[in-house]
Structure 1
Amino acid sequence: MNGVKNWRAALGAAIVLLGLSACSILPETVTLTQYQLPEKTLPATRQTGPARELVLRVSAPYTDQAHGSTRIIVLPDGNQVSSYAGARWMDTAPVLLRNRIASGFRDLSQFRGVVLDADNAQADIELDGNLEAFQVQYQHGQPVVQLRFVARLNSDRNGKIRLIDTQRFLVEQEVDGTSVEAVVKAFGVAADTLTRELAQWVLAQDLP
Structure 2
Amino acid sequence: MTRLPLPRAVVALALAAALAACSPLPAKRTSAQIYTAEPRIAVDETWPRVTWQLVVVRPVASQLLDSNRIAVRPRPGQLQVYRDAVWVESAPNLVQNAILRGFEDSGRIVAVGRPGTGLRADYSLSLDLRRFETDYPADGGAPQVRVEIRARLLDAVSNQVLASRTFAAATPLSDTATPAAVAAFEPTLGQVAQDIVGWTLVTGEANAQSVMRRR
Is the Cα contact below 8 Å between 2:38 and 2:98 reproduced in 1? no
Check if 1:169 corresponds to 2:167: yes
Change in 2 beyond 3 A, CA 1:138/1:48: closer
Match of 2:42 in 1: 43
Matched residues, percent identical?
Answer: 23
> Aligned-pair distance for 1:154?
0.8
* Structure 2, unpaired ranges of 5+: 209-215
Change in 2 beyond 3 A, CA 1:196/1:16: same
Look up the equivalent residue of 2:108 and give its one-letter code.
Answer: Q
> Aligned-pair distance for 1:199?
2.0
TM-score by length of 1: 0.84
Is the Cα contact below 8 Å between 2:142 and 2:174 reproduced in 1? no
Q: Distance in 1 between matches of 2:114 and 2:136?
A: 33
**Aligned with 1:57 (options 50, 55, 60):** 55
* Equivalence map 1:1-208=2 (5 Å): 3-4=3-4, 7=6, 11=11, 12-19=13-20, 24=25, 28-40=28-40, 42-46=41-45, 51-117=49-115, 119=117, 121-139=119-137, 140-157=140-157, 160-205=158-203, 206-208=206-208
Look up the equivalent residue of 2:151 and give its one-letter code.
Answer: A
Q: Distance in 2 between matches of 1:27 and 1:121?
A: 52
Look up the equivalent residue of 1:94 and give its one-letter code.
Answer: P
> Aligned-pair distance for 1:175?
2.2
- How many pairs were matched up? 201
Is the Cα contact below 8 Å between 2:129 and 2:150 reproduced in 1? yes
> Aligned-pair distance for 1:29?
3.2
Post-superposition CA distance 1:146-205 (Å, at most 9, x none): 111111001113xx2121100011211112311222122211001110011112211221
Q: Distance in 1 between matches of 2:130 and 2:194?
A: 19
**CA RMSD after TM alignment:** 2.7
Q: Distance in 2 between matches of 1:189 and 1:117?
A: 26
Is the Cα contact below 8 Å between 1:58 and 1:126 reproduced in 2? yes
* Structure 1, unpaired ranges of 5+: none
**More off after superposition, 140-149 vs 71-80:** 140-149
Is the Cα contact below 8 Å between 2:38 and 2:94 reproduced in 1? no
**More off after superposition, 110-119 vs 13-22:** 13-22
